[in-house]
Amino acid sequence: MGKRTREEIAKKVVYQTINELVSESSLGLSAWCTLFGKTRQAYYKHQKRREAQQMSNLALLADVLLIRRDHKLMGTNKIRVILKDHPGMMGRDRFFDLMATHGLLVRKRKSRVYTTNSNHRFRKYGNLIKELEIDRKNQVWVSDITYVKVGETPYYLSLITDAYSNKIVGHCIAKSLEAKHSLSALKYALKVEGNPEIHHSDRGIQYCCDEYTSALKQENRAIQISMSKKGDPLENPIAERVNGIIKNEYLCNYNLDKNNYKEQVATAIRLYNLERPHYSQNMKTPSEIHDGIINPLTTFFRNKNQSLTLTRN
């Protein structure tokens, strides 16, 4: 802790003590200030600065809550990056302390339901991306399936993610693990993005079956097929990570129901693609990397804070 910080803490303690003594004793403010070697002017100056800091903290927390409305489990560092232009933003440690004081730090939830059945008759392909340097979008797509609950019913979400940008380019949620649902996610991605150079997945039957591999092998596509080893999530880490983010940061807080679960999933993916920064992408969002679309949250809060500054001036 630096000298300046220690001095600030000491002053804060002194003025807090004066406040308490004034309220609990018959001596007036001037007497207590004199006893502690402070002037009334210094006391009022400190109080004014303290009130201004409290107002600034409240304004900052209001914007934090705006972000948390849609991104309930977004980490504190990511929120700090989005709000970096906020006039009330402070150092990392102070911001973490502020979030902790108001119960806004989050704990990550971990759960695992296996959705891969690799005991089947279909051909299993080798891993083409283990040592590959991925340096452009649509070079490699990674696919995986994660389990979610709609009400009390288990559903399965098929996701296709661009390995370079981490953008989810295709998805399908369904009540079963039938291959047609993973194929639906693939067809959507192909329609919107065109063809990737490589499609990577685990060795689940959904990805090894004839229908799926035939879609990848069509002459006008010539997509290379890559697969991880049996039961090794470390060979498909991007897909595993994105699955976890969508499930644990978004869908677990949505209370999915059978009437609008598809729209809820689509909203979660849109928020993830457009607004959630990634450490691995230098705190940019998937859509910033993939499509050059600036994070609308960053733009919103920057414009908001600029407007407030102009109004005050």
Q: Pick from 216, 153, 150: which is nearest to 179 by CA?
A: 216
Angle at CA of residue 220, ends 219 and 224, nearest 5°? 70
Residue with the bigger pLDDT between 113 and 245: it is 245
Q: What is the DSSP string of 60-109?
A: HHHHHHHHHHH-TT--HHHHHHHTTT-TT---HHHHHHHHHHTT------
Write the CATH number for 198.
3.30.420.10
Q: Pick from 138, 214, 150, 140: which is nearest to 176 by CA?
A: 150
14 domain residue, yes or no: yes
- pLDDT at position 310 is 46
Partnered with residue 149 across adjacent β-strands are 154
112 domain residue, yes or no: no
Cβ(284)–Cβ(278) below 8 Å? yes
pLDDT band at 115 (very low <50, low <70, confident <90, very high): low
- Flag the least confident range among 9-13, 66-70, 148-152, 187-191: 9-13
The answer on 76 and 170 residing in a single domain is no
DSSP 130: T
213 domain residue, yes or no: yes
290 domain residue, yes or no: no
The answer on 97 and 158 residing in a single domain is no
Q: Are strands 153-162 and 168-174 parallel, antiparallel or unpaired?
A: antiparallel
Mean pLDDT score, 215-238: 83
Mean pLDDT score, 183-208: 95
Q: Which domain holds residue 68?
A: 6-102
Tokens of 21: 């003594």
307 domain residue, yes or no: no
Structural domain count of the chain = 2
Mean pLDDT score, 182-205: 95
The secondary element (H helix, E strand) that includes residue 307 is helix 296-312
Number of other residues whose CB lies within 10 A of the CB of residue 172 = 21
pLDDT band at 293 (very low <50, low <70, confident <90, very high): very high
User: Tokens 């600030």 belong to which residue?
Assistant: 8
243: pLDDT strictly greater than 70? yes
Tokens of 214: 């035939």
- The model's pLDDT over 56-86, given as tens digits with 9 standing for 90+, comes to 889 899 999 999 988 988 889 999 999 988 9
195 domain residue, yes or no: yes
The answer on 237 and 167 residing in a single domain is yes
The answer on 147 and 247 residing in a single domain is yes
The answer on 257 and 172 residing in a single domain is yes
d(CA 140, CA 219): 18
DSSP 233: G
User: Which range has the top average pLDDT, 78-87, 162-171, 300-309?
Assistant: 162-171
267 domain residue, yes or no: yes
The answer on 163 and 70 residing in a single domain is no
Identity of residue 92: R
**Where is the domain boundary, 102, 127, 157?**
102
112: pLDDT strictly greater than 70? no
- pLDDT at position 235 is 73
Q: Pick from 259, 230, 297, 251: which is nearest to 80 by CA?
A: 297
Residue with the bigger pLDDT between 298 and 286: it is 286
Q: Pick from 201, 192, 194, 190: which is nearest to 163 by CA?
A: 201
The answer on 264 and 144 residing in a single domain is yes
The answer on 271 and 154 residing in a single domain is yes
The answer on 254 and 156 residing in a single domain is yes
**Where is the domain boundary, 75, 102, 129?**
102
115 domain residue, yes or no: no
The answer on 75 and 154 residing in a single domain is no
- The model's pLDDT over 253-268, given as tens digits with 9 standing for 90+, comes to 778 888 999 999 999 9
Q: Over the chain, what is the mean pLDDT?
A: 86
pLDDT band at 29 (very low <50, low <70, confident <90, very high): confident
Residue with the bigger pLDDT between 60 and 120: it is 60
- Sequence-ordered list of residues with C-beta below 8 angstroms from that of 251, at least 6 positions apart, any chain: 148, 157, 264, 265, 268
- pLDDT at position 222 is 83
- pLDDT at position 2 is 44
Residue 186: CA count within 13 A, CB half-sphere: 27
